[in-house]
Chains A and B, each alone.
Chain A
Amino acid sequence: MTVVTKRPAPGPGREPTTPRPTTHRSQPRHRSLTRALPLSPAVVLLLLFLAGPIAYCAYIAFTDLQLTGQAEDSFVGFDNFRTAFGDEAFLNAVWLTLVFTVISALIGQNTLGLGLALLMQRASKPVRTLTGAIVITAWVLPEVVAGFLLYAFFRREGTLNAILDWLQLPSQNWLFTLPILAVSFANVWRGTAFSMLVYSAALGEIPKEITEAAEVDGAGGRRRLWHITLPMIRRSIGTNLMLITLQTLSVFGLIWVMTRGGPGGRSQTLPLFMYEEAFQKSMIGYGTAVALLLLLVGSLFSVVYLRLLRTEV
């Protein structure tokens, strides 16, 4: 992704235009309009179906619109936001979203992905291929299917408890006692491949001589990792952390299939809370206010991400 910021617009097409000094002034403008024409279908689509809803989101977050379709929704100012910050269910959802993101993305996917990528560098080819195939399959599976597979895994009668029984460890009803942990592990299972791919690509770019030199100098594995490998891939770490945080913030289907946000809201992250307020409780205005907050957090992360890319130049 370094490409966009690094190249000051390659502009291979400028050669035919610039060497003609005699054209009158209106022609370049006319030409640049014609040239921009192919952009128009994409721009129209993005304006109507992406920018439109975002603007609409910013509007109805300040109204009391309800699902029943009352004719006049009225402007209520910051009421929805005030309600939200006094609403225990909302604060609970914020907390759970934080827990979910930290456990499953920042700790789980990121560390496991890096660990796998590091191990893969040293492992023999068949093992590497096999592990890669399994981890990537978990990633490519549709979200809902992944949800069902892990629902089966964590259920009281499921595989995890069967293994714990066999090891004579205490089993429990994971989806009831620790639902947020269960869905976090589910997200680790589903998302680790992404970090693994990003880190494998990054590690592949470290010149072999550097690590070998350190090895000959007698630097042990841990010191090599800490002083050489990690500093050299730090940009990839930043990029990866931003991207997986954004992906994790918008997970809906996985949690919906596994727990529906329950029991008693104990795995209800913000997207599920937003859905419940908007549709089960018919408070579209309120649900949208929550959506707007989520969107703002997402935008903040996106901006930081863009800045990270820019400093790469």
Chain B
Amino acid sequence: MARTLSSRRTTHRLAADAGLLVVAAAFVLPLAWVILSSLDTNANLQVKLPDGVTLDNFDAVLTPDITFTPLLNSLLLCGGGTALTVACAALAAYPLSRFRSRFNRPFLLTVLFATCLPITAIMVPVYALFVRVNLIDTMQGTIFFFAASQLPFAIWLMKNFMDGVPKELEEAAWTDGASSLQSLVRIVLPLMGPGVAVVTVFSFVMMWGNFFVPFMLLLTPDQMPASVSINEFFGNRGMVAYGQLAAFSIVYSTPVILLYVLIARRLGGGFALGGAVKG
């Protein structure tokens, strides 16, 4: 009995391995294209071994015009937006997690509701509103909107992480006369370092990859972040240099992949974010 069970398990494992590998092979093709093409002297749209391995594509792309300015813009937008999001979320999470009030529940439900709203849908009115109040085509306007759109989820995550910090230390600080702000900054936040890291990285990654918001709210080409400027490869430069497009895609994607790896490892496996979303 035990033997048939264990041999059946082995067959099952092999079948599962085979199934996963088939899916992995299908999923890896587009990724293989971007990596191989970026090294190819003569890249086209197919996955193929490079005609000749070269770093020329990266050389051609790594200029202020094509790469550095858009990346710097991305960094400004997403860095500013993330800083604002995390600061506001940490402040807001503190009373929600620490004090009892009859407003907590409706507030959190509203936040959760806002988390789910399709932000894409409000971009047309946001554009019209920004034109009216002269925030259109400004970095600060875009940063504010980025922060506001990420804030509901950030508050939600931050509050749940904060609930996990025991209050005994804080109570000691309170009796010593520390204010809420002091105990938040000196005691609670340092104790929830990984939680703050998750909120920060998550907000940053979402903003870094966002195309629609800067596409709508910024107009001047000099201010465009990488998510929008990448379309230039198709627009103004005539023939599409696929090798360069691939190289740029890699340069632009690397930061978010590294950041994801950073928090995934810190929280033990890639399942942390899914778990956080689920509960």
Q: Are B245 and A57 in contact (CB under 8 A)?
A: no
Question: CA A3 – CA B215 in complex, angstroms?
Answer: 36
Most buried by A among B113, B126, B227: B126
| Selected contact of A142 from candidates B15, B231, B252, B278, CB within 8 Å | B252
> Which residues on the B side are within 8 Å of A35 (C-beta)?
95, 99, 101, 180
A50 to B124, CA, bound (A): 13
- Does chain B have a CB within 8 A of A159? yes
Do A49 and B92 touch across chains, with their CB atoms under 8 A apart?
A: no
Whether A253 is near chain B, meaning CB under 8 Å from some CB there, is yes
Q: Are B260 and A36 in contact (CB under 8 A)?
A: no
A262 within 8 A of B: no
B29 CB within 8 Å of chain A:
yes
Chain A residues with CB below 8 A from B12, complex form: 122, 221
> Is A103 close to B, CB under 8 A?
no
Among A77-85, A88-96, A146-154, the stretch in contact with B: A146-154
Kindly identify which residue among B46, B91, B116 contacts A162, using a CB–CB cutoff of 8 Å: B46
B27→A135 contact, CB < 8 A: yes
Measured in the bound complex, the distance between the Cα atoms of B175 and A12 in whole Å is 14
User: Are A145 and B45 in contact (CB-based, < 8 A)?
Assistant: no
A200 beta carbon closer than 8 Å to chain B: yes
- Asked if A1 and B230 make an inter-chain contact with CB atoms under 8 angstroms apart, the answer reads no
By the criterion CB–CB under 8 Å, are B129 and A250 in contact? no
Interface string of A129-150 (1 = CB under 8 A from B): 0111111111011111110111
Interface residues on B, range: 35 or more
Alpha-carbon distance A7/B76, docked complex (angstroms): 39
Does A46 lie within 8 Å of B271, measured CB to CB?
A: no
Question: For the complex, what is the distance from the CA of A216 to the CA of B24, rounded to whole Å?
Answer: 32
Q: With A15-B171, A243-B116, A291-B122 as given contacts, are A140 and B99 in contact (CB-CB < 8 Å)?
A: no
B278 touches A198 (CB 8 A): yes
B20 touches A116 (CB 8 A): yes
Contact partner of A302 (CB less than 8 A), chosen from B99, B116, B278, is B116
What's the dominant secondary structure at chain B's contact region?
A: helix
Chain A residues lying within 8 Å of B270, measured Cβ to Cβ, are 132-133, 136, 197
Contact B125 A57 (CB under 8 A): yes
Please report the C-alpha to C-alpha distance between residue A7 and residue B87 in the assembled complex, in whole angstroms.
Answer: 25
A56 at the interface (CB under 8 A from B): yes
Specify which of A39, A69, A201 is in contact with B95 (CB 8 Å cutoff): A39
Number of interchain pairs (Cβ within 8 Å): 330
Q: Please tell me if the beta carbons of B279 and A143 are within 8 angstroms of each other in the complex.
A: no
Q: Which residue of A lies closest to B168 (CB)?
A: A12
Set of chain B residues within 8 Å of A127, measured between Cβ atoms: 16-17, 20-21, 24
**Chain B residue, CB-CB nearest to A158:** B45
Closest A residue to B112 using CB positions: A306
With contact pairs A159-B29, A197-B270 given, residues A130 and B121 touching in the complex (Cβ less than 8 Å): no
Contact of A298 among B23, B121, B252 (CB under 8 A): B121
How many Å lie between the Cα of A112 and that of B16 in the bound state?
14
Closest to B100 in A: A11
A176 at the interface (CB under 8 A from B): no
Q: Is the CB of B277 within 8 A of A198?
A: yes
Chain B residue with Cβ nearest A286: B124
Q: Is the CB of B155 within 8 A of A144?
A: no
How far in angstroms is the closest Cβ of chain B from A238? Answer: 11
**A38:B31 contact, CB within 8 angstroms:** no
Contact present for A123 and B116 (CB under 8 Å): no
Segment touching A, from B49-57, B61-69, B191-199, B205-213: B205-213
Give 1 or 0 for each of B30-54: 1 = CB within 8 Å of chain A CB. Answer: 1101100100000011110000000
Q: Which B residues are closer than 8 A to A by beta carbons? A: 5, 9, 12-13, 15-17, 19-21, 23-24, 27-31, 33-34, 37, 44-47, 84, 87-89, 91-92, 94-101, 103-105, 107-109, 112-114, 116-129, 131, 144-145, 147-149, 151-152, 155-156, 160, 163, 167, 170-171, 174-175, 180-181, 184, 205, 208-212, 215, 227-228, 230-231, 242, 245, 249, 252-253, 256-257, 260, 270-271, 273-275, 277-279
A–B Cβ pairs within 8 angstroms, 21 of them: A12-B171, A36-B95, A39-B96, A49-B148, A56-B125, A56-B129, A116-B20, A122-B9, A127-B20, A127-B21, A135-B27, A142-B209, A144-B227, A145-B249, A148-B230, A159-B47, A249-B120, A250-B120, A291-B125, A294-B118, A298-B116
